[in-house]
Structure 1
Amino acid sequence: MNEASGLSILRELRSDRALAAMLGLGFSSGIPFLLVYATQSAWLSEAGVSIETLGLMAEMTLAYKFKFLWAPFLDRYDAPILSRLLGRRRGWIVVSQIGVALALAAVAFGDPGQRLAWTVLFSLALGFVGATQDTVIDGWRITVAPAERQSLMSSTAEIGWRVGNLAAGAGALYLADAFGWRAAYLAMAALMAPGVIAALAAPEPPSDLAPRRKPKSVGETIVEPIRDLTGRLGRMAFPVLLLIAGFRMPGYVSNAMAIPLFKELHYSNSDIATVTKLFGFWVGIGGTALAGVLTLRLGLMASLLIATVSASASHLALAYLAAHGDHGGGEFWLFATTVSIDSFAYAFASVVLITYMSSLVSTEHAASQYALMTSLCAFPGSLLAGASGFFIERTGFTWFFVGTSLIGVPVALLAFWVWRRHAISDLRAPDGAIP
């Protein structure tokens, strides 16, 4: 980023109240997810939780896969008390942020080595309120700014999210090494405060200021966004949705066992934080930038195919690490290089997928349909990830990561088939129709 563009962004943040709030809301959105399972898996490993149980614990993120079920209600119903004071969307944002902070504090006072049920219960609660926070922040972002500002709003949200994700990953791991896991989780609960302040300072979307519409029936509220999406996709609905469901499946299965692999290879929490979060932060920025350039130059569908292949192939680097990377001597740099390859490919693939899914939603149902597709994207991989520990017990880490790479082969073939029959020339027509 050059100096002129940096100054331009700073001017925008000073002059646009919604954009400044988006930075804080993106930060709070980036905190909960890793703390539900990924970062927490290091704590669980240290507590002596078995590898089979570790795999099953990946299911604690299921709320992020089912958020489409309650997303339509967050669009239509008020949060208790706070929506009357702040507006519907900001009210829900603050309620969910308070819920995240309380759930993090509850997890902090658990002991997975002695009371695993406590950790599971409040981690599930953390997943639910974290997924709700994501949904309502997306809804606020889409409705508070006009269409021509959405690209800038999304970029600002991504910057905030990455910083929050860095805090929940590297920050929590460093704190755990220095002060213990309870202090780390309590610190993460306190870090929700900037997001609450951002929500309180944020402007109300125009839709929240308009007279309230009579809520639809429960069934119609849930079904209408789905009916609209499948109706516009027509005969391509099944293959397109199948592609979305399979796109991140290899990554979800692989990610569930990444930190257990690193702990198996005797890397410390600080080593893991340095490589996956500090290196990974900048590597992810690089993958994000490349995705933006290639999507413009090669087209969305060609980039989608490249993303599918590269993301799955990157797991072969983890397989190599599993075979040759036990801690000691120069193996730290093998660790750093391997994880960087995987992180770069993951960031690239994620941005391309987000762009593709965004191209499919209609303006009227943007929040609900986007929640539906992100849930669909995450659900199959999350279920398969639950069995990952059992696979490793039988195959070992090396062949496990080779297997997750091969999962991407049929997904890549489907991406190519969809590309040939459903090429998209623009992100979204003004009326929400698929070009």
Structure 2
Amino acid sequence: MGSAGLAEAAPSPQVPRRLLALYLLLGFSAGLPFYMFNAVLTLRLARHGIDIVLIGFFAWVALLPTFKFVWAPLLDRFDVPGFGRYWGKRRGWIMLSQLGIFLSMAAMAFTSSDRSLPLTALFAVLLAFWTTTLEVAADGWRIELAPTKAEQGPMVAANLWGYRSAMVAAGSGAVFVAGQLDWTWAYLVIAFAAFLPFPILVATARDADHDGRRSPALVTGLIASAIILLGSLLVTAIVGWALLAAAAQAGVTSKTNVTPLVLALALLPFVGLAIALPRIRPMRADAPARRSAAIGPYVDIFWRFGYATLPVLAFVSFYRMGDVMTLTLSHPLWNARGYSLNQIAMADGAIALLASMAGVALGGWMAARWRMGAALAGGAIASAFGNWVFVWLWKVPPSDFVLYVAAGFDQFAHGLEGAVFVVYLSLLVNPRYPGAQYAFLSGFAFLLPRLLAGAAGSIQQAIGYDGFFWLSGGLSAAAILLLPFIVGVKARLAEDA
């Protein structure tokens, strides 16, 4: 399965430790902010007494990565002015993203009272955008650096160790600081921690294909970054204002079920490509759609896999269901069950960190050594039980033991599942378009889960916390039913291969 661009089973040299250390760092950079616009934000809103349905809507901020394919081709095509001159394309985008992450999180810190929910949403969206941009640059670089399945396994494990340990550090650290001080200090502490890799990247050696000097490149890059960041703030504010005004004009309130509309709009580009499949398959290499900088990378996916693209997309859309939906309501569940901020901080701390790292290590090993179908099945089963453990937590009397066992099992299961899944998606990517195609596939993988997560509050009100976690675990397990349709999928070779 998946001879898409990466060799699946060919032997390869041992991955250099410097690359593993690099991707541990990059995973840490992306993982710290992710929790801050997701699980920590939902807990913050819950502590401020915000309605559970509105909290569910905030989970739609995490939909933004689904649309990263819109701007991902820019990262493959252009350098960041200044930074790219010395550090190269990938590191330049990563450095710009870190500046955006720091400033967005600082803004969330100084609006942490949540008295203006539109303002909270604005800075959460900006934080999600720059976090996603960092991931696009890092994923594209990883696929370029690791051309075989055997190399992908350890690099993905290192990246996810950094990512999930940072999520744990952000979750437990932010909640602990909020419990001792307040939410402003919680976000500021994580903002400064997320910024630490920036000076490390500044100190790294010049890219081999560039001949600029460090100091002028840094100054030019900072000036260009200020302009880009200000522009992104203005565009996001204008678009957000227009959307809110349109929603108000249409009579949309917190009680309006907008999930079907959001789902329809989000699916449009994917459905459009699927409908065009009969025309895409016979396209020649010089066809405008295949040569287009904007849509060429995505047309290439459908051209290479043909009609098998459809079951592959269906599979990936179910596979991470449990992980995403657990992240949305696990913290409000703990809050509703009466656990204190200090107890939650401990659950999200050392216990979750050790469990997550163990799960990622096992998942990376499985992805590199097992047949991919078996590894994917193991991940889906683990994810299902990682959700169902919260049904047990909801039904038994609260205690430290119950909370820590549930949190630990959840992190282990979803760490294992995540490592297998990243390797699988990487095997589908054409090395010609690593950033754009990985963004497209991973974005689609989280579309349906995050849409349902946005409706999590409404679902919980209808079927309760126990029903919600039974449902989310069952949806993850359902991905196994699609495995027979994808395990034999082979990519069509390009004409010049």
Question: Which range, TM-score by smaller chain?
Answer: 0.7 to 0.9
Residue number in structure 2 paired with 1:220: 292
The 3-state SS of whatever aligns with 1:30 is helix
Residue number in structure 2 paired with 1:167: 169
Q: Alignment partner for residue 440 of structure 2, among 372, 382, 396?
A: 372
Asked if the contact 2:383–2:477 (Cα under 8 Å) also holds between the matched residues in 1, the reply is no
Q: Alignment partner for residue 242 of structure 1, among 314, 320, 337?
A: 314
Equivalent residues in 2 for 1:142-157, closer than 5 Å: 142-143=143-144, 153-157=155-159
Output the CA distance in 1 between the equivalents of 2:334 and 2:425: 32
CA deviations 1:243-273 (Å, max 9, x no partner) are 1112112332232111000000111222112
Task: Say what the alpha-carbon RMSD is for the aligned residues.
Answer: 2.9
Asked if the contact 2:324–2:449 (Cα under 8 Å) also holds between the matched residues in 1, the reply is yes
Greater shift, 258-267 or 69-78, is seen at 69-78
Q: Alignment partner for residue 198 of structure 2, among 191, 196, 199?
A: 196
Runs of at least 4 residues of structure 1 off by over 6 A? 145-149, 216-219
Equivalent residues in 2 for 1:6-25, closer than 5 Å: 16=18, 20-25=21-26
Output the CA distance in 1 between the equivalents of 2:290 and 2:179: 47
Distance of aligned partners of 1:263 and 1:208 in 2 relative to their CA distance in 1, 3 Å threshold: farther
Distance of aligned partners of 1:49 and 1:345 in 2 relative to their CA distance in 1, 3 Å threshold: same
Asked if the contact 1:305–1:416 (Cα under 8 Å) also holds between the matched residues in 2, the reply is no
Asked if the contact 1:316–1:405 (Cα under 8 Å) also holds between the matched residues in 2, the reply is yes
The 3-state SS of whatever aligns with 2:311 is helix
Output the CA distance in 2 between the equivalents of 1:256 and 1:315: 12
Shift of 1:151: 5.4
Gaps of 5+ in 1: 1-8, 211-215
Shift of 1:376: 0.8
Match for 1:53: what amino acid? L
Relative CO higher for 1 or 2, CA cutoff 8 Å, sep ≥ 6? 2
Distance of aligned partners of 1:22 and 1:344 in 2 relative to their CA distance in 1, 3 Å threshold: closer
Shift of 1:343: 1.8
Q: Alignment partner for residue 357 of structure 2, among 285, 302, 305?
A: 285
CA deviations 1:154-181 (Å, max 9, x no partner) are 4443333233223211111111111211
Shift of 1:208: 5.8
Output the CA distance in 1 between the equivalents of 2:165 and 2:188: 18
Matched, 1:182 2:184: yes
Asked if the contact 1:144–1:203 (Cα under 8 Å) also holds between the matched residues in 2, the reply is no
Distance of aligned partners of 1:314 and 1:141 in 2 relative to their CA distance in 1, 3 Å threshold: closer
Output the CA distance in 2 between the equivalents of 1:299 and 1:263: 41
Asked if the contact 1:86–1:204 (Cα under 8 Å) also holds between the matched residues in 2, the reply is yes
Equivalent residues in 2 for 1:76-155, closer than 5 Å: 76-143=77-144, 153-155=155-157
Output the CA distance in 2 between the equivalents of 1:52 and 1:41: 11
Residue number in structure 1 paired with 2:419: 351
Shift of 1:218: 12
Gaps of 5+ in 2: 1-13, 213-287
Match for 1:257: what amino acid? L
Q: Alignment partner for residue 333 of structure 1, among 401, 405, 414?
A: 401
Asked if the contact 1:56–1:387 (Cα under 8 Å) also holds between the matched residues in 2, the reply is yes
Asked if the contact 2:176–2:345 (Cα under 8 Å) also holds between the matched residues in 1, the reply is yes
CA deviations 1:335-367 (Å, max 9, x no partner) are 211222222211111111112111111221122
Output the CA distance in 1 between the equivalents of 2:129 and 2:368: 36
CA deviations 1:128-185 (Å, max 9, x no partner) are 1111111122234444677686655444433332332232111111111112110111
The 3-state SS of whatever aligns with 1:362 is coil
Asked if the contact 2:87–2:205 (Cα under 8 Å) also holds between the matched residues in 1, the reply is no
Output the CA distance in 2 between the equivalents of 1:389 and 1:410: 22
Asked if the contact 1:67–1:131 (Cα under 8 Å) also holds between the matched residues in 2, the reply is yes
Asked if the contact 1:21–1:201 (Cα under 8 Å) also holds between the matched residues in 2, the reply is no
Output the CA distance in 2 between the equivalents of 1:146 and 1:407: 32
Asked if the contact 2:157–2:419 (Cα under 8 Å) also holds between the matched residues in 1, the reply is no
Match for 2:184: what amino acid? R
Distance of aligned partners of 1:90 and 1:218 in 2 relative to their CA distance in 1, 3 Å threshold: farther
Q: Alignment partner for residue 311 of structure 1, among 353, 360, 383?
A: 383
Distance of aligned partners of 1:209 and 1:220 in 2 relative to their CA distance in 1, 3 Å threshold: farther
Match for 1:368: what amino acid? A
Asked if the contact 2:63–2:447 (Cα under 8 Å) also holds between the matched residues in 1, the reply is yes
Shift of 1:199: 2.0
Residue identity over aligned pairs, in percent, reads 29
Output the CA distance in 2 between the equivalents of 1:305 and 1:64: 25
Matched, 1:71 2:72: yes
Distance of aligned partners of 1:151 and 1:45 in 2 relative to their CA distance in 1, 3 Å threshold: same
Asked if the contact 1:144–1:206 (Cα under 8 Å) also holds between the matched residues in 2, the reply is no
Equivalent residues in 2 for 1:33-48, closer than 5 Å: 33-48=34-49
Shift of 1:73: 0.6
Distance of aligned partners of 1:319 and 1:416 in 2 relative to their CA distance in 1, 3 Å threshold: farther
Residue number in structure 2 paired with 1:272: 344
Residue number in structure 1 paired with 2:282: none
Shift of 1:83: 2.5
CA deviations 1:82-106 (Å, max 9, x no partner) are 3334333222221111111000000
Output the CA distance in 2 between the equivalents of 1:57 and 1:23: 29
Shift of 1:225: 1.4
Distance of aligned partners of 1:20 and 1:334 in 2 relative to their CA distance in 1, 3 Å threshold: closer
TM-score, normalised by the number of residues in structure 1: 0.85
Matched, 1:399 2:488: no
- What is the total number of aligned residue pairs between the two structures? 406
Match for 2:400: what amino acid? F
Shift of 1:386: 0.9
Distance of aligned partners of 1:72 and 1:205 in 2 relative to their CA distance in 1, 3 Å threshold: farther
Asked if the contact 2:152–2:423 (Cα under 8 Å) also holds between the matched residues in 1, the reply is no
Shift of 1:321: 1.2
Output the CA distance in 2 between the equivalents of 1:125 and 1:346: 26
Shift of 1:217: 10
Match for 1:373: what amino acid? L
Asked if the contact 1:96–1:130 (Cα under 8 Å) also holds between the matched residues in 2, the reply is yes
Residue number in structure 2 paired with 1:229: 301
Asked if the contact 1:67–1:132 (Cα under 8 Å) also holds between the matched residues in 2, the reply is yes
Match for 2:306: what amino acid? G
The 3-state SS of whatever aligns with 1:257 is helix
